[in-house]
Amino acid sequence: KQQERKRKGEKDREKRKRKGERKKEQEKRKGEKEKGRKKK
């Protein structure tokens, strides 16, 4: 039982990590878009 809980915690951590990375990617893309707009 304890091991199952541990595995679930690791899965949640992975999910959260992936979510955070996706958010970072979106913000990066957004920043690049605004930079492009300023150049024109």
Express each pLDDT in 3-15 by its tens digit.
Answer: 888 888 899 999 9
Instruction: Indicate the helix (H) or strand (E) that contains 28.
Output: helix 2-39
Does the pLDDT value for residue 1 go beyond 70?
no
Express each pLDDT in 25-37 by its tens digit.
Answer: 999 888 887 777 7
pTM of the prediction?
0.46
Q: Distance between CA 37 and CA 26 in Å, rounded?
A: 17
Task: Indicate the pLDDT class of residue 17, thresholds 50, 70 and 90.
Answer: very high
Supply the pLDDT for residue 39: 60
Supply the pLDDT for residue 2: 79
Q: What is the largest CA-CA distance in the chain?
A: 60
- Output the CA torsion 20→24→25→30 (10° steps): 140
Rg of the Cα atoms in the chain: 18
